[in-house]
């Protein structure tokens, strides 16, 4: 695949995203280090991933276990790796031990499989919540979250829930999905005190290329940026 933009342009676009995240953090009264940029690397060929290294990106998220393994063989410790795609139980063994965080846990059976596969020091996960209620999206509904938290709490320490993830509907105006991000933050805040003995629930993975600014304003700690860095029109 031919590289679509130069390394210089990639650096410029990464800088724009960083600036917008910083401004959103300031507007929301948060510290400058309270949201991280994750690049969804399924859109990127190896030469483009190399450009991300040059641009100072240190966090990649993969959607498929096969691509995760292939890219790790090339780039290894150049990045912190997360898994952001839908995870099938049969693929759990290929992901556990390779990533620092799994964003997409959505069933008690998957939690059981992750606990079975977890290394001695456990595995960190986010529970995916379908805030908008769209049938086409993975994730649990609000009233199902605590069932998954209970499943993860036993055995203690094997599956650590670090927080929550959601995917908002695709819209032209990001303001139309602000409620999604606000609601997930509210859910997290409501559960945090009760579950503090078990989980810190500090992470909110929400917001993508078209709506990440609004997501940061509403409390996102991780934003997932896709192909906007390498497309011709930029972010």
Tell me the whole-structure pTM to 2 decimals: 0.95
- Confidence at 200, pLDDT banded by 50, 70, 90: very high
- Does the structure show a pLDDT above 70 at 215? yes
- Give the model's pLDDT for residue 1: 44
User: Tens of pLDDT along 2-14?
Assistant: 446 899 999 999 9
Alpha carbon separation from 206 to 6, 117, 230 (Å, rounded): 28, 27, 21
pLDDT at 149: 97
Q: What is the DSSP string of the chain?
A: ----S-HHHHHHHHHHHHHHHHHHHHHTT--TTS-EEEEEGGG--HHHHHHHHHTT--EEEES-HHHHHHHHHHHGGGSEEEE-S---GGGHHHHTTT-SEEEEE--HHHHHHHHHH--TT-EEEEEEB-SS--TTS-SB-GGGHHHHHHHHHSSTTTEEEEEEE--PPP-SSGGGGHHHHHHHHHHHHHHHHHHTTT----EEE---TTTHHHHHHTT-SEEEE-GGGTSTT--
Quick one: what percent of the chain has pLDDT higher than 70? 97
Q: Report the pLDDT value the prediction gives residue 233, as an integer from 0 to 100.
A: 54
Tell me what the mean pLDDT of segment 174-183 comes to. 98
Is the confidence at residue 136, as pLDDT, over 90? no
Q: How high is the pLDDT of residue 197?
A: 86
Write down the mean pLDDT value for the chain.
94
Please give the pLDDT value at position 234: 47
CA R_g for the chain: 17
pLDDT at 118: 94
Structural domains in the chain, CATH included, are 7-229 (3.20.20.10)
Residue pLDDT, tens place only, 47-89: 999 999 999 999 999 999 999 999 999 999 999 999 999 999 9
Considering only residues 232 and 2, tell me which one the structure prediction assigns the higher pLDDT: 232
Query: What is the pLDDT, as a whole number, of residue 176?
Result: 98
């Amino acid at each position: 695949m031919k590289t679509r933009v130069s390394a210089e342009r990639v650096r410029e676009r990464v800088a724009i995203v960083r600036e917008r995240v910083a401004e959103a953090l300031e507007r929301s009264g948060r510290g400058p280090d309270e949201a991280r940029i994750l690049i969804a690397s399924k859109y990127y060929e190896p030469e483009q991933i190399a450009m991300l290294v040059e641009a100072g990106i240190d966090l990649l998220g993969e959607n498929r276990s096969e691509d995760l393994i292939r890219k790790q063989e090339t780039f290894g410790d150049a990045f912190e790796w997360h898994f952001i795609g839908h995870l099938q139980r049969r693929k759990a063994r290929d992901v556990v031990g390779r990533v620092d965080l799994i964003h997409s846990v959505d069933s008690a059976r998957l939690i059981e499989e992750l606990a079975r596969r977890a290394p001695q020091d456990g595995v960190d996960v986010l529970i995916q919540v379908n805030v908008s209620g769209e049938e086409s999206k993975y994730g649990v509904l609000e009233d199902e979250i605590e069932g998954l938290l209970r499943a993860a709490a036993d055995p203690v320490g094997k599956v650590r829930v670090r927080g929550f993830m959601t995917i908002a509907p695709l819209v032209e105006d990001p303001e139309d999905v602000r409620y999604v991000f606000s609601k997930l933050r509210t859910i997290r805040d409501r559960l945090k005190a009760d579950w503090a003995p078990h989980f810190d629930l500090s992470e909110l993975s929400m917001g993508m290329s078209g709506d990440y600014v609004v997501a940061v304003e509403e409390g996102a700690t991780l934003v997932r940026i896709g192909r906007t860095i390498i497309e011709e029109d930029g972010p």
